[in-house]
Amino acid sequence: MMSFFRTLRRHPSGLLGFLGIIFFLLMVLVGPYVIPLDTKVKVDRIYSPPSLQHPLGTDHQGRDILSQIVHGGADLLYVAFLASLLSTMIAVVLGALSALIGGRVDSLLTGIVDVILTIPQFPLLAVLAGFVQLDSSTGIAILLALLSWPHLMRPIRSQVLSLKERDYVEAAIGLDLGTRHIIFAEILPNMASYIIIHFILAMTGSMYAQIGLVFLGLVPFSSSNWATMIQLAWVRGSIFFADSVYYILAPIAAISLFQLSLVSFSRALDEIVNPRLRAGDA
């Protein structure tokens, strides 16, 4: 743990990104217990500017924007995390199996990946969302994962093909230690930094996909969700009112700052995960 923070101190952007991630996680997990959600319509406070009572102003119904920001991130971050986790796991397992087994298995898996990659992901996602009833956050995450894993599968396959030529992997194969041992004990630890960084970047893509689906009205979300706030700002004509700028910019800023934190933190991850780089700096 101490080496983790020592490494972060050498990367100011990574440290800021890590602190930003912690801030947003505390906000969406602990914040709702501190700041109650404002659901009361107040027509006399529509689009009020920021004040001590309403630090981010109010929305088109006079409700506090800050409370919506605090309560609106949990669903979005949950779907992004679960979708990225599932897609990364699928890509890693299938990519490693494809490279290690080879032959017809490799040809079949790479053929499936080639077909999926030729189809634009978001239009396909929008079509599927129109036919499949996505009434839960978990269902949306699973659908996103099933469509996004091929983007990582090919790079994983290429890296495993390179690593399988190393002496320690050839020794494990010669000793017949089993495919599971070779993948999870010999190969994956040497790709940990790449996999973790891709997982973090995949979260940003999952968030954009969710926002697009909500903006098009293809998936239901709570009215306090960050993506729903942007969608309501559009359908209610808020973008045409100068006083609504805080209502529009608040969810956009929350999404942008969280993604900036993820990307900044990922820049320091390679050294944190890779012990050889830490030893080199020492």
pLDDT at residue 3 greater than cutoff 70: no
Enter the pTM of the model.
0.83
Range of the domain at 282: 1-36+57-72+222-282
* 85 vs 8: which has the higher pLDDT: 85
* Cβ-based burial of 256 (10 A; exposed 0-12, middle 13-18, buried ≥19): exposed
Spatial separation of the C-alpha atoms in residues 22 and 15, rounded to whole Å: 11
Q: Is residue 27 included in any domain, yes or no?
A: yes
Residues 135 and 268 in one domain: no
Residues 88 and 169 in one domain: yes
Residue-wise pLDDT for 221-268, tens only, equals: 666 788 888 888 887 777 777 778 888 889 999 999 999 998 888 877
Residues 88 and 195 in one domain: yes
Spatial separation of the C-alpha atoms in residues 180 and 218, rounded to whole Å: 40
- Which of 72-81, 94-103, 121-130, 194-203 has the weakest average pLDDT? 121-130
Q: Considering 220, 250, 271, which residue would you say is the last residue of a domain?
A: 220
Q: Is residue 158 included in any domain, yes or no?
A: yes
Q: Considering 220, 240, 271, which residue would you say is the last residue of a domain?
A: 220
pLDDT band at 279 (very low <50, low <70, confident <90, very high): very low
Q: Is residue 51 included in any domain, yes or no?
A: no
Q: What is the pLDDT of residue 221?
A: 67
Q: Is residue 150 included in any domain, yes or no?
A: yes
Q: Is residue 189 included in any domain, yes or no?
A: yes
Q: Considering 171, 188, 220, which residue would you say is the last residue of a domain?
A: 220
Q: Is residue 47 included in any domain, yes or no?
A: no
- Which of 118-127, 141-150, 197-206, 248-257 has the weakest average pLDDT? 118-127
Residues 15 and 97 in one domain: no
Residues 184 and 78 in one domain: yes
- Which of 117-131, 148-162, 213-227, 267-281 has the weakest average pLDDT? 267-281
